[in-house]
Amino acid sequence: MALLWRSQFSVGNDLIDSDHQYLLEIINRAEVCLKSVDTVALTSVLNELANYGKSHFEREELVAKAVGYPKADLLHESHTRLVEQLTKFREGMESNRTKINADEVTSFLRDWLIQHVIKEDMLMKPWLTKHSPRFDPRQ
Ligand SMILES: [Fe+2]
């Protein structure tokens, strides 16, 4: 079953929340590819996840600094780790294409996103909610 967005996932900033919703949607698309054993489509969806993930992390770090989040540097380190984790996982999959375990990939992707959103980004919520949900430092 597809992973659904919940209001508890909201960090109180629309820019970050909509990025997270889109990341969730990419992961749901990856799960459809896994179910239909479409490895070509899966590779392209995971490429999108890696690229969108990186651009999301950049936007998020910009917001974190702009709202004065004191752990912005730690957030950057954690993002670097998340990018590395995903790269490693994808390399492992590429080297063992015939043995892709759908459940294993699904739980990795869900953990990757949910742990990031809940464990890391939620810590920023008190700083984010001092501003309007529409706060966007790029404007
Ligand atoms: Fe995030």
Provide the pLDDT for residue 139. Answer: 87
- What angle, 0 to 180 degrees and rounded to 10, lies between the N-to-C axes of helices 39-66 and 72-95? 170
The Cα diameter of the chain in Å comes to 49
The per-residue pLDDT for range 54-73, each reduced to its tens digit, is 999 999 999 999 999 999 99
The pLDDT, as a whole number, for residue 13 is: 97
The b/e string for 81-95 (b: 16+ C-beta within 10 A; e otherwise) is ebeeebeebbeebee
Cα(113) to centroid(ligand 1), Å: 8
Please name the fold of domain 12-128.
Four Helix Bundle (Hemerythrin (Met), subunit A) (1.20.120)
Q: How many Å is the Cα radius of gyration of the chain?
A: 16
In this prediction, residue 133 has a pLDDT band, given cuts at 50, 70 and 90, of: very high
CA of 80 to the centre of ligand 1 (A): 12
The answer on pLDDT for 90 being more than 90 is: yes
Does the structure show a pLDDT above 80 at 98?
no
How far, in Å, is the centroid of ligand 1 from the Cα of 97?
29
Residues contacting residue 13 through CB under 8 Å, at least 6 positions apart: 63, 128, 131, 133, 135
For residue 97, pLDDT beyond 80: no
CA distances from 118 to 18, 110, 113, 125 (A): 15, 12, 8, 10
Q: How far is the CA of 116 from the centre of ligand 1 (A)?
A: 6
Instruction: Parse the chain into domains and list their residue ranges.
Output: 12-128
DSSP helix/strand/coil, 67: coil
Q: How confident is the model at residue 99 (pLDDT cuts 50, 70, 90)?
A: confident
CA of 39 to the centre of ligand 1 (A): 27
Q: Mean of the per-residue pLDDT values for the chain? A: 94
Question: What is the residue type of 118?
Answer: I
How many Å separate Cα 73 from the centre of its chain? 18
Q: How many angstroms is it from 43 CA to the middle of ligand 1?
A: 22
Report the predicted TM-score, pTM, of the whole model to 2 decimal places.
Answer: 0.94
**CA 7 to ligand 1 center in whole angstroms:** 15
Q: Which residue type does 94 have?
A: E
Distance from the alpha carbon of residue 107 to the mean position of ligand 1, in angstroms: 18
Separation of CA 44 and ligand 1 centre (Å): 21
